[in-house]
Amino acid sequence: MLPRKSIIPEEFALPALVSRIPRKPVFRDRVNKARFIAKSGACNLANKNIREQGRFLQDVFTTLVDLKWRFTLVIFTMTFLCSWLLFAMGWWLVAFAHGDLDTNSKPVIDQCVTNVNSFTSAFLFSIEVQVTIGFGGRMITEQCTAAITMLILQNIIGLIINAVMLGCIFMKTAQSHRRAETLIFSRHAVIAVRNNRLCFMVRVGDLRKSMIINAAVRLQVVRKTTTPEGEIIPIHQIDVQTESVVASNSIFLLAPLIICHVIDKDSPLYDLSAMELQCSDLEVIVILEGVVETTGITTQARTSYVTEEIQWGHRFLPIVAEEEGLYSVDYSKFGNTVKVATPQCSARELDEKPSILIQTLQKSELSHQNSLRKRNSMRRNNSMRKSNSMRRNNSALAVPKVQFLTPEGESNLAVT
């Protein structure tokens, strides 16, 4: 038996109507690749499963300096308290062995330490000896050699503890990365044509007036590579040569400078076009090193640029201007860029076909001329409209003449 045909046409059935409803596209969050160096310069690296933890104790001073402030202050306080308590126990044992705790059986002159009759008084005397306070109520006599030996031993150990703890506090307050907080980098890196070559450029600057001596800038490209043998290198570091006028590669960081890397055949960016750069997972690390002029400590500032932070076809705006006989720097435009004509091809294609650069520059020149013509025509139209509107206003303000007729038939002109 044939199935009964529905009265409702198939095109108006519920499945057909549901299939016609336009579905909203589903956007999934893009999984960002972990960067090796953060924008602040911190290394995005976690050490796990370190079995030989005792190696950190072999260099106690560096371990104390690398600790956080709260742990350093706790260790600083506990070290002095433990040393005071330890030597307080020693002074109490000396007094106990000599019989000084029984004040009724022995006069004060025959005691090793006067007025040390309990552990509390021994603890107070230990603090006075190590901190060299000397209130005058307690002092060592010539009656026992053990007390003199204990005094010499506590002074030596107390000086060592003071030297280590104060040196640790000084090194934490004078760390080199504190000076790096005033060394700034541009938010984005740019790729544009400079001297007929594609160049990778970043801007660096120093906010302080005290200079960085022997400042040098290094560039590295970090990316995941695979060798012909199939070995995967997750962090492959490639040194990048920067453009420098001196052989030592040092810069005079008096004002903000643009660090330029010419993308040539030795550059890891040589085969990358604008589209290929956005799809790659490389990271460019910028390292600025130098000696602080005021302290003489070597400092280092770091940052990195992933592919989303590299602007192709942009150039940094000039921020240094001469005003009233001196140079002024406008840091509000430190990271500002402007779009310029740049070929979208790779540096290899640009070297093989130099006509691409010529065509790009010609197109930009034509577009610039067309924009100038449009601006001039708009200015002319605006000026003509203004002149026409002024003429209309003047004609509307003109005074009309009215003619009156007298009974004698004579006409009189009156102006109203």
Distance separating alpha carbons of residues 247 and 336, to the nearest angstrom:
30
Report residue 151 as tokens: 């005094």
- Look at 74 and 107; give whichever has higher pLDDT: 74
What domains does the chain contain, in order, with CATH numbers?
54-173 (1.10.287.70), 179-338 (2.60.40.1400), 354-416 (no CATH)
Prediction pTM value? 0.66
- Look at 279 and 248; give whichever has higher pLDDT: 279
Per-residue pLDDT of 250-287, as tens digits, reads 788 888 999 999 998 888 999 888 898 888 888 999 99
The residues pairing with 321 across neighbouring beta strands, listed in sequence order, are: 328
Distance separating alpha carbons of residues 102 and 112, to the nearest angstrom:
13
Report residue 23 as tokens: 């579905």
Report residue 21 as tokens: 């409803």
Residues 6+ apart with CB under 8 A from 94: 112, 113, 144, 146, 147, 150
Of 263, 222, 228, nearest in space to 345 by CA: 263
pLDDT at 29 over 80: no
φ/ψ (deg, to 5) at 37: -120, 130
What type of residue sits at position 107? P
Inter-CA distances, 303 with 93, 218, 257, 405, Å: 59, 11, 16, 94
Per-residue pLDDT of 30-79, as tens digits, reads 445 678 888 888 888 888 877 777 777 777 888 888 888 899 899 989 99
* Residue with the two structure tokens 């160096």: 37
| Number of alpha helices (DSSP H) and beta strands (DSSP E) in the chain | 10, 16
pLDDT at 28: 38
Write out the E strands in 241-277.
Answer: 250-251, 257-262
- Look at 267 and 380; give whichever has higher pLDDT: 267
Of 251, 137, 269, 139, nearest in space to 192 by CA: 269
